Structure 1
Amino acid sequence: MDIILLERIEKLGTIGDVVTVKDGYARNFLLPNKKALRANETNKKVFEANRERIEAENKERATAAAKHGENVDGTQIVLIRASSNSGQLYGSVAVRDIVEELNKTGADVDKSMVILERPIKTLGLFDVRIALHPEVSVTIQVNVARSEDEAELQKDGVDVMAQMFDTEEATGFVEKIDRTLEPGEIAGEDAEEAEEATAEEAPSEDAEAAADEAPAEEDSEATA
């Protein structure tokens, strides 16, 4: 379908551009939200007659959005979530979650303004774009952590995820060693010390031989 844009649409064009889009996109989003008009002769004349007013109103909205953005840009919100030991969330962070937490700071945004490229499914810091106007965007930071303390560490630049992996690998290494030991066996340096102590306490080969011969001599005397 050919349409006339009434505002800038990312990857499509700006006010007054005539572009071709899929019918469903036009009917379900652009036309009902008054972001475009069907590009027929009547609408082209109507648009040209009102172009100056449309552009002036758009400029006013952009100016207001830019002012609003000064209070939103750079905001960091914290979302506490449960996760596995590898940092994978049990679920994901949705646009709704971001909007609710961001609006607690007085941001006054709605779901349509949040541009989330992909679902957030791990712990960490994530930059998220907020489109306050087709021509005005700001960036906020979403801090996803298991606790307020971990959120503070991440905020200060600590890679909590890396620490979790290090801890997990160390634990796995110890468990792997433990699983290779027989009952009563000692690992590492303690095993070496135990072996040395055992060697010192063990009787020599000569002593063992003497012990084996002694009972034989006694038996021969008794027979005589």
Structure 2
Amino acid sequence: MKVILLERIAKLGAIGDEVTVKDGFARNYLLPTGRALRANEANRARFEAEREHIEARNAERKSAASEVAEGLDGKDFVVVRSAGETGQLYGSVSTRDIADFLTEEGFRVGRNQVDLKQPIKTIGLHEVDIVLHPEVETRITLNVARSADEAERQAAGEDLSSAEAIYGANEDAFESLADFDEDGAPIDSDAFEEGAAPEAAPAEEEEQATA
């Protein structure tokens, strides 16, 4: 389908350009979101009549987006999430999560403006592109960690995605992990030993009876 662009579209063209796109892309995105018009004589005349207004409106949107981008550019944001010892999140951080978080921080960002190829599923420093306008992009860093303290350590360059990084590379620290079961509950070693004793008692009685 051939369309007239009403705003700059990456890899397609600028305002007023007539381009050919796939029908589905036009019907499901460009036309319903007001980013393009079907290329025909009536719409060409309409575009020329409204060109000044369309370009002025685009300039306003670009200016507003630039202000938001200036506040966001290069900023680091700490996102605290639960994760396992290997750094794998119990869940993920999605485009909606990021948009909601940035909005709470005072930046108006829609989920469709968060250019995230796939959800974030591990702790660490993740660079995320924010496309606020076809001509305005910026980049932020999400410091995804299990706590504010870990976020500070990550920001300082530490790799916290392993048990060794969390507990330290020493035997005492790792031996202490053995005092807890898989669910994190403490194991009473004395009770365990006492529980094993009764099993030995019948054997001792049998030996005494034999003697």
Q: Please report how far the alpha carbon of residue 58 of structure 1 lies from its aligned counterpart in structure 2 after TM superposition.
A: 1.1
Larger gyration radius, structure 1 or structure 2:
1
Q: Which runs of structure 2 are paired with 1:92-111 in the superposition (5 Å)?
A: 92-111=92-111
Where structure 2 has 5 or more consecutive residues not aligned to the other structure, the ranges are 176-211
**SS of structure 1 residue aligned to 2:85:** coil
CA contact (8 A) 1:116 1:129 kept: yes
Q: Which amino acid aligns with 1:65?
A: A
- Cα distance in 1 for partners of 2:48, 2:107 equals 36
TM-aligned CA distance change 1:140 to 1:112, over 3 Å:
same
**Residue equivalent to 2:68:** 68
Aligned equivalent of 1:45: 45
Alignment of 1:137-156 (within 5 A): 137-156=137-156
Structure having the larger proportion of residues in helix:
1
Change (3 A) 1:26 1:170: farther
Kindly indicate whether the alpha-carbon contact (under 8 Å) linking 1:85 and 1:168 is maintained by their aligned counterparts in 2. no
The list of structure 1 runs, each at least 4 consecutive aligned residues, that deviate by more than 3 angstroms after superposition, is 162-171
Task: Give the secondary-structure state (helix, strand or coil) at the position aligned to 2:101.
Answer: helix
What residue identity is the alignment partner of 1:112? N
Contact conserved, 1:86 with 1:165, CA < 8 A, in 2? no
Deviation at 1:49, TM superposition (A): 2.4
1:120 matched residue in structure 2? 120
1: CA distance, partners of 2:139 / 2:6:
25
The normalised TM-score by structure 1 is 0.69
What's the CA shift for 1:166?
9.2
The offset of 1:164, in angstroms, is 4.3
Q: What displacement does 1:156 show?
A: 2.1
- Cα distance change, pair 149–165 in 1 and its aligned pair in 2 (3 A): closer
Structure 1: distance between partners of 2:127 and 2:23 = 33
The alpha carbon displacement at 1:168 in A equals: 9.6
Against the structure 1 CA distance between its residues 164 and 120, is the aligned structure 2 distance closer, same or farther, given a 3 Å change threshold?
Answer: farther
TM-score, length of structure 2 as denominator length: 0.73
Q: Is the 8 A contact 2:87 2:122 kept in 1?
A: yes
C-alpha separation in 1, matches of 2:168 and 2:31: 53
The Cα offsets for residues 109-152 of structure 1, whole Å up to 9 and x where unpaired, read as: 11121111222111101111111211111111111111111111
- Kindly tell me the number of residue pairs found equivalent between the two proteins: 173
- CA distance in structure 1 between the partners assigned to 2:148 and 2:132 by the alignment: 29
Cα deviation for residue 159 of structure 1 reads: 2.2
* Structure 1 stretches lacking a partner, 5+ long: 176-224
Letter in 1 for 2:8: R
Give CA deviations for 1:55-114 in whole Å, capped at 9, x if unaligned.
222122212221222112223222222222221222221111111211121011111211
